[in-house]
Structure 1
Amino acid sequence: MAAESDADIDDFPAEEPDSGTGADGVVEVVEAAEEEFLDDITQLYLNEIGASPLLTAAEEVDLARRVLKGDFAARQRMIESNLRLVVSIAKHYVNRGVPLDDLIEEGNLGLIHALEKFDPERGFRFSTYATWWIRQNIERSVMNQARTIRLPVHVVKELNLILRTLRQLETGAGRPGAGSAEEVAQLIGKPVAEVRAILLASERTASLDAPLDIDPDLTVADAIAAETEGEPDSQAVSKEIELHVAEWVGQLSERQRQVIERRYGLNGFDACTLEELASDLGLTRERVRQIQLDALKNLRKRLSRDRIAKNDVL
């Protein structure tokens, strides 16, 4: 696969830090705020599904037989009792470009598909059967993300909606490849031509990963990146984010500002670890971490209020 944008940036000479917030520090601090928010949401979800008891083999067979007869309550019980399996599998795919909550959502679709195809009379546990379908859905999501990494953010969002709708149509029909552009367009309220154009853009993006004949270690995207500067729109959004972060830092308490500036290398400081900060400030590592989290929660609220997401600056 082609090298991502961070590798391309490394090809340029490093600039001396100035008195501003700094683009790298801005991205890191916004990313940290977003991750902290998502961690809270994910933990809340894990707490909720943890309340669903696991099923015995006998209970599983009984519920699965009732599912085949159209019992909705049995279907819900089977799904809820296996959501922890989805999370367990999804965790193996983190750091591959897809957030954990999205991986869990894709895995849940695989779980539902598995339940619709499960035959309790064959003698094996549902979790054994469902694992394959959960992994297939998650891996397909990861591959789609790898293909679409170079598309504009707004196109990626539309594409994800289209792909999710296609998978739901496949699940409903019980076979791969079910669902047409027309059906998707009707379900999501988009023109058919727009749905087809977005799918085509995704296919064209995949071709950027093709190796160059003159050097198999390089790709078409590598050659393009070497001759292309950042898009003006992206630069403008980054400046807007920098302004928000600068204003946010100015509103922090003195202790919070010290932690954030030195933790993320803002305003000319070098980025340092929690241990280094704790030693310099005479605090425990856990206390420094809590100060950091409190400040990041404030930033997350500010960005949400102004409808700015982490993906807008990456």
Structure 2
Amino acid sequence: MIVRNQGLVRKLAMTHSSQYVAQDDLIQQGNEGLIRAVEKFDPNMGNKFSTYARDWIKQTINRYVDEQHTIKVPEYLRNKIMRIRKAQNTYLQAMGKEATISVLASECEMSENEVETLLSIKPDAVSLNKSFGEGESDLENFIEDEKSLTPEDAAEETMVKEKLKSALEALSPDERVVIVRRYALDGKGKATLKEIGDDLGLSKEAVRLKEQRVLRKLQMSADLQHLSRIE
């Protein structure tokens, strides 16, 4: 599974690639998330492994980027670190397991102590605390919400949303609008009862009651029990 999903790891790593975080570091972190997904995945749940693994990989990369400190690392040390990271990735893809310090030292022609020291150094990273104008507050809240989920919770929620989408076909147009917008299934962010009510010409209370009725319908499916905890 690890070798077969390297394309997914690289794709997600590229979304964070920049001059501040080496892509090899991101791929390494993504592979660590992939390994955890392999360990945690239960095929009996009836879900695709790629869907489950995506959130483990994404969350692991996000947390790595977030944890980086803005420190200055000399260029020659950065080159050495990147060489070690590349060796780690090459070994993992070929062998399906992580390389030991001894293996990395041999591959990179360094001492084991040097490899350990270099791997403990975090590369330069840009701060996420930037000004984004009028949308700043919403963006900050979105980032915090994304990172408050564990990879396992994020994967589980993704699968729940996928099953919810397939259940929408049985709903009326208004019911579908309420659920799609309340649970951000359109990718545009969670809408308030008032916003939905304004669009449908209904009061907040009418939208709330409609939402509750639809949820009761959907929660009859065992696959969608988690809807009751999404606020």
Measured against the shorter chain, the TM-score band is 0.3 to 0.5
Higher RCO (C-alpha 8 Å, min separation 6): 1
**TM-score (normalised: structure 2):** 0.36
Structure showing greater radius of gyration is 1
**TM-score (normalised: structure 1):** 0.28
